[in-house]
Amino acid sequence: MNFRLVDLSAEEIAQQLSVVEPLTDSVRGLIDAVIRTEVDDDELNAAREQIDAIVARLRTKQKPGSFGVQFTRELSGLSWGNAAVGARNGIAPPMRIVHHEDGRATCDVELGAAYEGPGGLVHGGVSAMLIDQLLGEAASVGNGLPCFTGTLTVKYLRPTPLGPLSMSAETVRREGRKIFVRGEICTADGPTVTAEAIMVSPKELPSRDQIMKLRAELAAQDGQG
């Protein structure tokens, strides 16, 4: 696992998010508009030229590869490229608000046209991704251990309509590094999807010694700066 510490305060993170999240929401708006627009071909070609110009502008300075996951000194993870919850990722559904309490994680999300599978309904792979993320968060945050999905079982009880949904996930039990979790996706009429997973905290996590060494390196950089 690529583990990197960054030296950002909570205020600096909030400042960056205050710029990045509205930009990502604009990208989501663009994706939705491209799916649903009924303007003519000339308008579509003109829009493409403008979009290409914006892409070229953003690419004048960019990271190689993916965003990665950076950890702050307090070990809170900044997974801003994440496919399910990345603050910079316009294809990630807008599910950033996750509430944690007593090992239980909940989240409300509104899915639009970009998440369609069967007409008017949520794609089954999207449902699996959303509940996988929430199950992973319930296991990781609830037990203070970063986990990978080992096994995910998803049961589609009835079609999930696009629109507002609520999700929940909770830890059922823990056996060593294995955390058993279950969760569901619901409409106002009740559950449409239920899921169970075995989340495994990998044995090859950075050790406490490695984390302390990275912290010391950051502190030394502070001294130089």
Ligand X SMILES: CCCCC/C=C\C/C=C\C/C=C\C/C=C\CCCC(=O)SCCNC(=O)CCNC(=O)[C@H](O)C(C)(C)COP(=O)(O)OP(=O)(O)OC[C@H]1O[C@@H](n2cnc3c(N)ncnc32)[C@H](O)[C@@H]1OP(=O)(O)O
Residues found near ligand X in the complex (CB under 6 A): 3, 71, 75, 77, 132-133, 136-137, 140-141, 146-151, 175-178, 198, 200, 202-203, 205-206
**CB burial string 132-157: b at 16+ within 10 A, e below:** bbbbbbbbbbbbebbbeeeebebeee
- CA 95 to chain CA centroid, Å, is 7
CB of 151 to ligand X, least distance (A): 4
CB of 46 to ligand X, least distance (A): 39
Instruction: Please classify residue 67 by burial: count the beta carbons closer than 10 Å to its beta carbon, then call 0-12 exposed, 13-18 middle and 19+ buried.
Output: middle
Considering the complex, state which of residue 162 and residue 181 has its C-beta at the smaller distance from ligand X: 181
Considering the complex, state which of residue 94 and residue 159 has its C-beta at the smaller distance from ligand X: 94
CB of 90 to ligand X, least distance (A): 19
CB of 98 to ligand X, least distance (A): 9
Considering the complex, state which of residue 51 and residue 148 has its C-beta at the smaller distance from ligand X: 148
Backbone φ, ψ for residue 39 (5° rounding) = -70, 165
What's the CA gap between 192 and 15, in Å, rounded?
Answer: 37
Report the residue closest to ligand X, judged by CB: 136
CB of 139 to ligand X, least distance (A): 7
Considering the complex, state which of residue 20 and residue 198 has its C-beta at the smaller distance from ligand X: 198
SS3 198: strand
Considering the complex, state which of residue 133 and residue 160 has its C-beta at the smaller distance from ligand X: 133
CB of 107 to ligand X, least distance (A): 12
Residue 108 pairs in a beta bridge with: 166
Considering the complex, state which of residue 13 and residue 141 has its C-beta at the smaller distance from ligand X: 141
Residue 178 pairs in a beta bridge with: 175, 200
Long-range pairs for 50-54: beta carbons < 8 A, 24 or more residues apart: none
